[in-house]
């Protein structure tokens, strides 16, 4: 894993040098579009339907559509001015109970670890106290020129950090087409359902689930790439290198140059050898 | 243990000479599993799943081998392919690349075997122990060495198109974490840091980036033109360079000595970005022969 951010975690007068790592990885298998007859990657081209011609990047300007067909343009320099420079600090604003922040607010997950040996003590202290007091830290920090609100909590021997949605990014549940009709709940039904729930309760194990589509696509790709012959390829490459080393040695001894040329396969792996390896 | 640089090859009874492998330096910790660690002490095992079985092809309960991870193509180390392996982070791509461009562990030293620390043993003894425990397998090869004839070996290595040679003192110990004169590296190619003063418009698959970079070095008030470099970059590197250069575009070149115009369109840039290039030799006109891009300097 590689750290994606390096800076300090600040909590009042205490600053702890930390590294931030991504906690998740998206297992995507991006597919590209090729032109079937010649199998080359197709190229996207900007086209102006009014001028009826392709346009280049230099002719473009960003704009916001504030009403149908009406735009205000925004220059790159103007956007540049809105960006915030990072002060390389994750600033803890306050602490709150660990169940206070609804998971609805959680965005991306990160791991925090101390940067170096001297930072371990302060880091462990904070982690331990959060754990004992069952609290999480609410903090502000700037990454990629944007400000984020984050929630930091202990996770095993490190800290985890979630970026949070802003309040106005969360849809109001009152806007849902549903009103509580105060359905009358029968005691017997409640009891039955309760037994059912108890019966179906067990520890959560994320490992038992897998992305079936991803697995199937991945297998399809693997099968197309092949790879069964790779062991043989590598054997051939190794023979070539051994030959080269051998030729170098012999050249030294005999004072004659005996070097094999690039690309010449001197020793082929024989069928017999392949069979032996399979066995 | 790291090597110091020696400018020229030499003959010596006190040294052995071996190929300098162009790859990623790597310590292999072998027990009931394989752990690979790079020069910066990072665990890189998961980058090379094809080497998981390395512990099985070494006849030892526990061993620590020193070597180089190399991707071979055409019987030569291919550093560009290796770099692609090194930089790939996605587990699926790692798996796929491990099949298309599998790496080989080229072993040249052993520092620990079954409870014995071998660092104080003389180099030749360690080499013998290493040779004895490595089984024949495509996963691993033990590098050869020759005695005495460093100069001739160097010229053969150069002819074979390899990166260079290592000269190591026969009786020297292994020194963890040290850059020592017991080990010397002698490269067949020179390197130079140059300013980028322009680029040519690319064609074909280079259409979206650039064809070649125009190189120059600074001499008092003028820049000395050093030629064009058009190889050694990955696509990502080209994109990165282009974004740096785009902000430096200007109408005219800086004062350039030794520049002869050629029939390609050139975009001139202010000479701010510095790159490291490798080259075979310097021509009479002070240009670099067969230059190849190695990296952007400002970032290091």
**Residue B234 or residue A34, greater confidence:** A34
Q: What is the DSSP letter of A203?
A: -
DSSP B63-89: EEEEEEEEEEETTEE-HHHHHHHHH--
Q: Which of A142, A168, A194 is the last residue of a domain?
A: A168
Q: What is the number of H-type helices and E-type strands within chain A?
A: 6, 13
CA–CA min distance B99, chain A (Å): 5
CA–CA min distance A249, chain B (Å): 7
The ipTM (two decimal places) reads: 0.71
Q: Which of B187, B209, B229 is the last residue of a domain?
A: B187
Collect the ranges in chain A with pLDDT lower than 70.
Answer: 86, 226-232, 256-257, 261-279
Task: Answer whether B226's CB lies under 8 Å from B288's CB.
Answer: yes
Tell me the residue range of the domain where B82 lies.
Answer: 2-187
* Interface contact flag, B159 A257, Cβ < 8 Å: yes
Cα gap A267→A251, rounded to integer Å: 19
Please tell me whether residues A143 and A249 are part of one structural domain. no
DSSP B169-198: ETT----TT-EEEEEEEEESSEEEEEEEEE
Domain at B30, CATH number = 3.30.470.30
Please tell me whether residues B107 and B7 are part of one structural domain. yes
Please tell me whether residues B65 and B174 are part of one structural domain. yes
Task: Answer whether B16's CB lies under 8 Å from B148's CB.
Answer: no
In a domain, A31, yes or no: no
Tell me the pLDDT tens digit for each residue of B89-134: 888 889 888 888 899 999 999 999 999 999 999 999 999 999 999 9
Domain at B270, CATH number = 2.40.50.140
Q: Which of A121, A148, A168 is the last residue of a domain?
A: A168
Number of domains in chain B: 2
Number of domains in chain A: 2
CB contacts < 8 A (A, B): 81
Q: Is A170 on the interface with B (CB under 8 A)?
A: no
Please tell me whether residues A244 and A162 are part of one structural domain. no
Please tell me whether residues B238 and B100 are part of one structural domain. no
Task: Name the residue among B92, B152, B156 with its Cβ closest to that of A259.
Answer: B156
List chain B residues with CB under 8 Å of A2: 89
Distances in Å between the alpha carbon of B126 and those of A74, A83, B65, B140, B169? 67, 58, 10, 17, 12
Please tell me whether residues A135 and A16 are part of one structural domain. yes
User: 3-class DSSP state for residue A273?
Assistant: helix
* Interface contact flag, A2 B89, Cβ < 8 Å: yes
Q: A52-56: list long-range contacts, CB under 8 Å, 24+ apart.
A: none
Please tell me whether residues B154 and B230 are part of one structural domain. no
Q: Which residues touch B75 (CB under 8 Å, ≥6 apart)? A: A237, A240, A241, A243, A244, A260, A262, A263, A264
In a domain, A76, yes or no: no
Q: Which of B141, B171, B187 is the last residue of a domain?
A: B187
* Interface contact flag, A262 B95, Cβ < 8 Å: no
Q: Is A260 on the interface with B (CB under 8 A)?
A: yes
Please tell me whether residues B12 and B72 are part of one structural domain. yes
pLDDT(B187) > 80: yes
Please tell me whether residues A149 and A241 are part of one structural domain. no
Please tell me whether residues B129 and B181 are part of one structural domain. yes
Confidence of residue B280 (pLDDT cuts 50, 70, 90): confident
Cα gap A248→A253, rounded to integer Å: 9
Confidence of residue B171 (pLDDT cuts 50, 70, 90): very high
Please tell me whether residues A236 and A108 are part of one structural domain. no
* Interface contact flag, B144 A252, Cβ < 8 Å: no
Domain at A117, CATH number = 2.40.290.10
DSSP E strand boundaries for A121-264: 135-143, 146-155, 158-164
Please tell me whether residues B174 and B231 are part of one structural domain. no
Tell me the residue range of the domain where A264 lies.
Answer: 230-278
Residue of B nearest to A2 (CA): B89
Dihedral (C-alpha) B213, B219, B221, B222: value to the nearest 10 degrees? -40
- pLDDT value, residue A158: 96
- pLDDT value, residue B21: 94
Task: Name the residue among B74, B141, B157 with its Cβ closest to that of A263.
Answer: B74
Task: Answer whether B229's CB lies under 8 Å from B193's CB.
Answer: no
Please tell me whether residues B232 and B284 are part of one structural domain. yes
Q: Which residues touch B288 (CB under 8 Å, ≥6 apart)? A: B192, B215, B226, B227, B229, B277, B279, B281, B282
Task: Name the residue among A29, A225, A244 with its Cβ closest to that of B160.
Answer: A244
pLDDT(B27) > 70: yes
């Amino acid at each position: 894993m590689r750290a994606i951010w390096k800076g300090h975690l600040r909590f009042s007068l205490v600053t702890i040098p930390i590294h931030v790592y991504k906690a998740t990885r998206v297992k995507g298998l991006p597919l590209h579009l090729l032109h079937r007859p010649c199998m080359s990657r197709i190229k996207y081209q900007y086209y102006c339907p009014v001028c009826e011609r392709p346009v280049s990047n230099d002719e473009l300007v960003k704009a916001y559509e504030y009403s149908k067909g009406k735009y205000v343009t925004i220059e790159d320099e103007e956007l540049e001015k809105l960006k915030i420079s990072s002060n390389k600090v994750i600033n803890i604003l306050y602490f709150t109970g660990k169940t206070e922040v609804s998971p609805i607010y959680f965005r991306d997950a990160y791991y925090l670890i101390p940067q170096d040996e001297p930072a371990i003590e302060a880091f462990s202290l904070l982690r331990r106290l959060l754990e004992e007091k069952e609290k999480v830290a609410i903090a502000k920090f700037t990454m990629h020129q944007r400000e984020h609100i984050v929630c930091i909590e202990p996770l095993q021997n490190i800290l985890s950090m979630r970026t949070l949605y802003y309040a106005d990014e969360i849809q109001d549940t009152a806007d849902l087409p549903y009103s509580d009709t105060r359905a009358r709940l029968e005691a017997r039904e409640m009891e039955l359902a309760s037994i059912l729930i108890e019966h179906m309760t067990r520890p959560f194990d994320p490992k038992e689930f897998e992305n079936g589509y991803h697995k199937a696509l991945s297998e399809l790709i693997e099968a197309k790439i092949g790879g069964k012959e790779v062991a043989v390829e590598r054997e051939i490459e190794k023979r070539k290198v051994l030959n080269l080393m051998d030729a170098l040695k012999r050249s030294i001894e005999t004072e004659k140059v005996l070097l094999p040329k690039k690309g010449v396969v001197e020793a082929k792996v024989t069928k017999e050898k392949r069979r032996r390896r399979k066995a | 243990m790291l090597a110091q640089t020696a400018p020229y090859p030499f003959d010596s009874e006190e040294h052995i000479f071996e190929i300098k492998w162009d790859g990623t330096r790597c310590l292999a910790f072998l027990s009931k599993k394989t752990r690979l660690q790079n020069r910066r002490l990072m665990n890189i095992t998961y980058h090379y799943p094809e080497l998981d079985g390395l512990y099985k092809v070494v006849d030892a309960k526990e061993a620590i081998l020193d070597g180089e991870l190399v991707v071979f193509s055409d019987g030569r180390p291919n550093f560009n392919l290796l770099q692609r392996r090194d930089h790939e982070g996605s587990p699926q791509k790692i798996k796929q690349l491990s099949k298309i461009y599998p790496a080989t562990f080229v072993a040249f030293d052993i520092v620990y075997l079954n409870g014995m620390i071998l660092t104080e043993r003389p180099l030749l003894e360690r080499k013998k122990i290493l040779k004895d425990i490595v089984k024949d397998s495509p996963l691993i090869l033990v590098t050869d060495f020759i005695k005495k004839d460093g100069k001739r070996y160097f010229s053969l290595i150069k002819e074979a198109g390899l990166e260079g040679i290592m000269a190591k003192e026969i009786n020297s110990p292994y020194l963890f974490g040290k850059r020592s004169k017991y080990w010397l590296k002698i490269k067949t190619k020179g390197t130079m840091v140059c300013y980028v003063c322009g680029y040519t418009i690319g064609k074909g698959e280079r259409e979206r980036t650039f064809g070649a970079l125009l190189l120059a070095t600074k001499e008092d008030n003028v820049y000395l033109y050093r030629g064009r470099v058009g190889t050694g970059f990955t696509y990502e590197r080209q994109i990165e360079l282009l974004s740096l250069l785009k902000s430096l575009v200007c109408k005219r070149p800086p004062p350039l000595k030794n520049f002869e115009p050629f029939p390609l369109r050139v975009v001139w840039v202010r000479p701010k970005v510095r790159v490291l290039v490798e080259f075979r030799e310097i021509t009479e006109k002070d240009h670099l022969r067969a230059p190849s891009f190695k990296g952007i300097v400002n970032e290091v």
